[in-house]
Structure 1
Amino acid sequence: MRVVGKNCQRYITDVGCIVRRFTPLQVKGWSKIPRNEVETLILCGREKFKLSTEPHVDVAIEEDMKRRYTKWHYTLHQMFLECKTVEQALANPPVENKSQRNKDNNSQIQFTHSSGTKAFSRVRWENRNPETGVLPSRIDTLKLTRYDEENKKWVDDDAKKAYVSVHLYIIRFELQHMSEDEIYDHVLGKAPSGYIRGLGVGPKPKPSFGVATRRCAQVEAVTRRAEQAEAQSVKLAEELTMVDEYRLLFRACIF
């Protein structure tokens, strides 16, 4: 789960500060923090924002804090292991080492993106349909996060090829029973368990618009024609009933 909305960046900053300032480091993990302290941290996260009082919101806040705490705790632990003394661990790590780690991590990325540190779920929310609130599909998100609108170019050739390949597959197999999400996974490959390629960690999204939407539109059209035919059938049945009544009345008048 990722926070989205008008003040999401401020929330992200505040929660990060709360975790780094108030969570204890002398425990092995988030689960070892006393429950009353966790609840206090959640209240701190709620303090500056108007959030829903539904239980799932507290769960989302805790998951966000847990994720940040785990990452921060791991980073500090790795820094400590690299040092020979406590004094050295308390000092700032060399910039060169941090730069090299970042370089190594970046080399593992399949293709870069143009959204900076902004979460893809936030990019989708900011580009939702203003009238219906519908979020962009995974394929549309691919372009939103890999295409530079200002300079009118893709971040790299791999991203462009991926986007074109997905669309070509849709055009070629449009009539097959596959949603855009299934086509996306088929062309670009499935990500590890719990990870959605193009969206990050989280629950599998509902079937996105595109092929699935066109299929729904076809079903709606057929249903609409069936309803019209049924209405016409009822009307004809009523007219036949009236004809039979007039026929019986005519026979009665003759005899």
Structure 2
Amino acid sequence: MSTRGRGRAGYVPRPHAPTPHASTKSVRSSTQSTPGPHASIKSVRSSILHSFTSESVHEVTSQVSHSDTSSTHCNTDGTSKGKRGLWEVTKPQIGQAKKSRGAIAYSDLQFAPQNVPSWTDISEEDKETLVAYLQEGFKFTNEPYAIGFILNLMHDRYKSYRHDLRQRFRSFPTMESALANPPENMEKETWKFLCEKWSDKDYKVRCGKNKLNREKLKVLHTAGSKAFRKVQYDEGDRATGEELGLVELYKKTHFSEKKEAWVHADAEIRHYKLEKRQEKAIEEGSCPISDEQLSIEVFGQKVGYIRGLGRCRKPSTTLSGKLTRAQLERDNEAATREAEEQRRINEELVGRIQILESDHTEYNAKVDFLMQQISQRVPSTDSSS
């Protein structure tokens, strides 16, 4: 038997067309009436899908495009949604977007394994199951950029839920009292795993180091609770769809227009380095340097994060992701060949122009010589008279 979908009751989504999705309220009510951990797959599925029966199918079509492997931007309603940068998965209506966020939060709470250290430790197979569950109530493209965007939202919800669980754990005075009071609809073994994780000495030491590192942060920014990607989209040209490059975005998020000053001296230095590296790439006449490559060369590389832009997706290990990267590599090779061919043609044209100029000079010299010969042979009017 397949181990896919090791969430509650081993739920495996049905491979059929999406069904209408209910309101956030009905999702919440269905969460409260979830079958126990030992319920059958059939009973879990029927109780969950009962909430997907009241409204029209919600189109979740992310307007995300990629100029490189890291670019992730999508249309929003133009507002910031809290400290986690809750971008709308859909373009128009806030009410519908709340349904999608509620469903994502519900799928995380209901089926995402909690007996793992963190979201990154959840298997790709289990994450595919979470996405497949979401596809039962929503319609969205299976393109890698859309799946990656949804997984990022799930990651945020998972961390938020894990934070709430930890706050619950810290509310108890002793380990024994915490173990005796697991959250509703969570198995005791899973709750025990989390409690032991939060009580582990190494975990506490790591948390302490992370806290100190955050306190040492020098360069702040002016974006507030808004994600850099959101700023990049909002400040772009809506008519052409062109967004801010990393150089312009870094200044937008690290220069205070109110104070007319950089948030930190290091920020101005970093912006200067970005400008110089970009100018160098232009002077060399090479292909335009991507924001990701520019960030890596100036700020250094950080796994899962692009400095100046924010979090990026991990390289996909799925077939579609491999095909996409292969296509990008082929396109890059084709563009390189085309650029080389154009350079060769330009050099050939320059050579021809030089030959023509040389011929033209030689022709003018011959004309001048002939004119001199003619003038010497023709007697002047004064001498004939």
Range into which the TM-score falls when normalised by the shorter chain: 0.5 to 0.7
- For 1:114 and 1:223, the matched residues in 2 are separated by 46
Q: Greater CA radius of gyration, 1 or 2?
A: 2
Q: 1:191 to 1:78 in 2, by over 3 A?
A: farther
| CA contact 1:25–1:73 (8 Å) conserved in 2 | no
**In structure 1, which of residues 31, 39, 43 is the aligned counterpart of residue 132 of structure 2?**
39
**In structure 1, which of residues 131, 149, 158 is the aligned counterpart of residue 257 of structure 2?**
149
Q: Tell me, which stretches of 5 or more residues in structure 2 are unaligned?
A: 1-70, 80-86, 90-96, 117-121, 184-207, 316-327, 329-338, 357-385
**Structure 1 residues 59-99: Cα deviation after superposition (integer angstroms, max 9, x where no partner):** 14531333123312432454355443338887xxxxxxxxx
Structure 1 letter corresponding to 2:160? W
| CA contact 2:73–2:233 (8 Å) conserved in 1 | no
Q: How does 1:77-226 map to 2 (within 5 A)?
A: 77-82=165-170, 83=172, 84=174, 85-86=177-178, 104=212, 106-167=214-275, 175-176=283-284, 179=289, 184-187=295-298, 189-202=299-312, 223=346, 226=349
Q: Tell me, which stretches of 5 or more residues in structure 1 are unaligned?
A: 91-99, 207-215, 234-255
| CA contact 2:295–2:308 (8 Å) conserved in 1 | no
Please name the residue that 1:18 is paired with: 103
The CA deviation at 1:133 is 2.3
Q: Structure 1-normalised TM-score?
A: 0.56
Please name the residue that 1:252 is paired with: none
- For 2:281 and 2:147, the matched residues in 1 are separated by 41
The CA deviation at 1:201 is 2.3
- For 1:148 and 1:45, the matched residues in 2 are separated by 41
The percentage of aligned residue pairs carrying the same residue is 16
Q: 1:111 to 1:132 in 2, by over 3 A?
A: same
- For 2:144 and 2:244, the matched residues in 1 are separated by 24
The CA deviation at 1:150 is 3.6
The CA deviation at 1:24 is 1.7
1:5 aligns with 2:75: yes
Please name the residue that 1:251 is paired with: none
- For 1:110 and 1:66, the matched residues in 2 are separated by 30
The CA deviation at 1:144 is 1.0
Q: 1:180 to 1:164 in 2, by over 3 A?
A: farther
Q: Structure 2-normalised TM-score?
A: 0.40
Bigger proportion of residues as helix: 1
| CA contact 1:16–1:68 (8 Å) conserved in 2 | no
Q: 1:45 to 1:108 in 2, by over 3 A?
A: farther
**Structure 1 residues 25-70: Cα deviation after superposition (integer angstroms, max 9, x where no partner):** 7833665869776434355566xxxx6x454465145313331233
Number of matched pairs: 205
Per mean C-alpha deviation after superposition, the further-off stretch among 173-182 and 195-204 is: 173-182
- For 1:184 and 1:17, the matched residues in 2 are separated by 34
**In structure 1, which of residues 50, 58, 68 is the aligned counterpart of residue 156 of structure 2?**
68
Structure 1 letter corresponding to 2:215? S
| CA contact 1:114–1:148 (8 Å) conserved in 2 | yes
- For 2:247 and 2:270, the matched residues in 1 are separated by 10
Structure 2 letter corresponding to 1:5? N
| CA contact 2:246–2:309 (8 Å) conserved in 1 | yes
